[in-house]
Amino acid sequence: MLRELGRNVYAIIGNKGGANCGFVITNEGVVVIDTTLFPSKAREVLENIHIITSEPVIYVFNTHYHGEHIFGNEVFNAPVIASTKTLEILRSVADSYVKEYVDKDKDLAPLLKDVHIILPSVTFNKKKTFTFSNKRLTFVHTGGHTPDSSYVFIEPDNVVFSGDTISAGLHPQICKDSNIEDWRRAILSIRKIYPEHIVPGHGYVCGVEETDAMLNYFLTLKDIMKEIEQESDVDKISHLEGISEISNRGFPELFVSNLKVLFYLKYGKKSIEHA
């Protein structure tokens, strides 16, 4: 679903909570934000761009290294902007990263067969602003969801593409390389901008209310963790799904897996087996 959020700022919302992406039409050309899991989907995005403008794609920005944000990069045939950390991670995994996805789900094999990882060639450390004659794009590296997680702030439209730092109406995915403190700081950094629209990595276009919902989500998980530790009874997890910060979100299967990863992050490998 294509949505115009500001003048020449478009979000494309993934089906059923699939990864979102978008693009900004500057006077100097189009900047694409994230490129979906499948080259076939990325080609549809490119067709959408061609319908709206004859400007060429001049940059692709990747919010972080996860496949559903980068596997379509090659389709756009443009330099990739990302944090230095994204480059570092992708360089270390290279094309074997695609195989990881196929190993997890064999059905993906035909859809991912054309994927070649395109490494970022325009990198930034903390923050980098690109000024075009009609737009200003500020890329900010925060870490959190992943060590390389970044967002982009678009002016004068006051729109943020947050990557997976925000998941609207869905459980966020806490990963083994997540850092919850950095994640909270990343959310606060977006909140401080007070964007009119936030395009999350997954879920619907939202406003700052979802930054509060995300912060509450982490607080709730922390409370639940504490309770499990005190009760030393992991079965209690299932009884806690009535808590609204938790039960109102889609992808409920991520709830238990998030708790397991939190235990892993706190206590190391053994705790996952225990859980």
Of 69 and 191, which has the nearer Cβ to Zn ion?
69
Of 66 and 135, which has the nearer Cβ to Zn ion?
66
**Residue 164 in contact with Zn ion, rule: CB under 5 A:** yes
Q: Which stretch binds Zn ion (CB under 5 A): 118-126, 156-164, 225-233, 247-255?
A: 156-164
Contacts of 109 (CB under 8 A, 6+ apart): 102
Min dist CB 231 to Zn ion, Å, is 31
Of 66 and 197, which has the nearer Cβ to Zn ion?
66
Classify the phi-psi angles of 4: left when phi > 0, otherwise alpha if psi is within -120 to 50, otherwise beta. Answer: beta
Q: Tell me the backbone φ, ψ of residue 185, rounded to 5 degrees.
A: -65, -35
Min dist CB 121 to Zn ion, Å, is 22
Q: Which stretch binds Zn ion (CB under 5 A): 7-15, 89-97, 164-172, 190-198?
A: 164-172
- Identify whether the C-beta of residue 64 lies closer than 8 Å to the C-beta of residue 166: no
**Residue 157 in contact with Zn ion, rule: CB under 5 A:** no
Q: Which stretch binds Zn ion (CB under 5 A): 27-35, 64-72, 151-159, 257-265?
A: 64-72
- Identify whether the C-beta of residue 200 lies closer than 8 Å to the C-beta of residue 20: yes
What part of residues 4-33 is at the interface with Zn ion (CB under 5 A)? none
Of 172 and 195, which has the nearer Cβ to Zn ion?
172
Min dist CB 183 to Zn ion, Å, is 11
Of 66 and 85, which has the nearer Cβ to Zn ion?
66
* Chosen residue from 8, 17, 46, 66 binding Zn ion by CB under 5 A: 66
Binding-site ranges for Zn ion (CB under 5 A) = 66, 164
